[in-house]
Amino acid sequence: MAERTDTVRELAIRRTRIPTSVALSVSAALCWCALPAHSDPLPNDYPTTARVDFVQDCIGRHGGKLEDLYKCSCVIDRLAEKLSYDDYVEASTFAHYSTLPGEGGGIFRDPDRAKERAKLYRTLEANAYKACGLPPPGSGGK
């Protein structure tokens, strides 16, 4: 009886065993498919903290409703499609600080580059808010 059990077990093992050539082919195909995902970083990938800061600020400006989480995430994703992270930092800085009064605010509002970058950011931001179903900043709508 033990001899028969061993034979049945051996047959079951042989039947379920994948031939080495098939296993190697499948492994190679999986590795080949996985390589591009790890070797190509996402275009205009922003640091997580920058995305979180933007989304938290956006939610706060729209009444603090958690339901706006996805809409605000949509906005930063749209901005990331149009601006590299460095360009985003520069343009948003000019846009946010261009309203500072006096001489200190002059460096953010007076140079031509500052005006151009602030205008670009405000335009992209307004378009992103509209596309994501939120009123743009400064529109007064909540």
- Our measurement of the distance from residue 43's CA atom to the centroid of its chain's CA atoms, rounded to an integer in Å, reads 9
Distance of CA 70 to the CA centre of its chain: 12
The predicted structure's pLDDT at residue 142: 55
pLDDT of 12 above 60: no
Does pLDDT of 63 surpass 80?
A: yes
d(CA 139, CA 126): 9
**Cα angle for residues 106, 107, 108 (degrees, 5° grid):** 90
The 10 Å Cβ neighbour count of residue 78 is 18
Would you state the pLDDT for residue 40? 52
pLDDT tens-digit map of 103-135:
777 777 777 888 899 999 999 999 999 999 999
CA-wise closest residue to 73 among 46, 42, 37: 46
- Each residue of 19-54: pLDDT tens digit? 544 343 444 444 444 444 444 555 568 999 999 999
pLDDT band at 2 (very low <50, low <70, confident <90, very high): low
Give the separation between CA 114 and CA 118, rounded to whole angstroms: 6
In angstroms, the Cα distances linking 7 to 22, 61, 88, 126, 131 are: 25, 72, 69, 73, 67
22 within 8 A of 32, measured Cβ to Cβ: no
